[in-house]
Chains A and B, each alone.
Chain A
Amino acid sequence: MRFSLEIKSLGWAVLASLFSLAGAWLSIGPIKGMTAGGPIVSAETSTEIMPSAQVIDEGRNFFGQSCSHCHGDDAHGDEGPDLHNLAISNARIATTIKKGIKGEMPSFAKKYDDRQIAELVSYLRTLR
């Protein structure tokens, strides 16, 4: 009797798991629609400063020199991922550019100084 209840409950539990996952995944489309356009910020980097057009142009140049090869000319991804609407903070982007990702992306710490990386980050932030 008890074992039968446990088996029946297992069936419901598996169904609930699948429905929860499906629900979460199906909600992605509407969430993308509702949140499209705005910036993605982390709680730690809520202050956004609009960089000048010159800074963004510099960043665009650096992108063309070092990033477009892997991330595509339009930054929509090629060998590397799409860089539009990055879901990480500016500091995190800068750290990734500086340190690279082991086995995936080289470090640019020797090629660009902090100011240049900040310009590159400013450009990446315009990609929405």
Chain B
Amino acid sequence: MWIDPTLWPKLHGASTHFPVALTMTAALCDGLGLAWPKSSPRKAQLHGAGYCTIILGALGTFPAVLSGLFMTKGEAWGHGALLYHHLFVWPAFALLVGLGLWRGLVGSSPSPRSFAIYMAVLFLTAGLMAAAGYWGGEMVVNS
């Protein structure tokens, strides 16, 4: 069966931006939610948005990772920019899946202590995603 050789790069490009953007948005919404006054209904809305976006972001990592593996013909590490991309992608992928599932099970308003740890890991994951995106962009720009 003939498959267009540009299919996987196109699918990877199309799918990979969703988890990146959703993770950033989750960090932003939950971060703002923490800073918002307790009495404001906006606080719950922001945490609700953070809850939805992190779960969608976690789900979005699967097509992104799978299309990337197909695009590189199963290359898990590589070298140069691809290696740097993968060094950030793999931990980000694992953390994002864990964060999405934990938040999904616990709900939109966890206890303050757990939520503080969750936020720290979320910011770390957002940073890893940004770095992975940067090196992915390097490969595209320098192609």
Contact = CB atoms under 8 A, between A and B. Distances in A.
A14 B98 contact: yes
B6 A35 contact: no
B105 A41 contact: no
B114 interface: yes
Interface residues of A, number: 44
B102 A13 contact: yes
Highest count of chain B CB atoms <10 Å: which of A20, A25, A28: A20
B105 A9 contact: yes
A12 B105 contact: yes
A35 B93 contact: no
Interface in B16-62: 61-62
Interface stretch (A43-51, A52-60, A109-117, A119-127): A43-51
A93 to B, nearest CB: 10
B143 A31 contact: no
Contact of A6 (B106, B139, B143): B106
A2 B111 contact: yes
Given A9-B106, A101-B80, A17 B143 contact: no
Contact of B97 (A6, A8, A17, A38): A17
A31 B140 contact: no
Contacts of A41: 5-6, 9
B88 to A, nearest CB: 14
Interface in A21-78: 21, 24-25, 27-29, 31-32, 34-36, 38-46
A35 B8 CA distance: 11
A28 B74 CA distance: 5
27 contacts: A5-B105, A6-B111, A8-B105, A12-B102, A12-B105, A13-B101, A14-B98, A17-B94, A17-B97, A20-B61, A20-B94, A21-B90, A21-B93, A21-B94, A24-B65, A25-B76, A28-B69, A35-B73, A35-B74, A36-B73, A40-B71, A41-B9, A42-B143, A44-B140, A44-B143, A46-B6, A81-B79
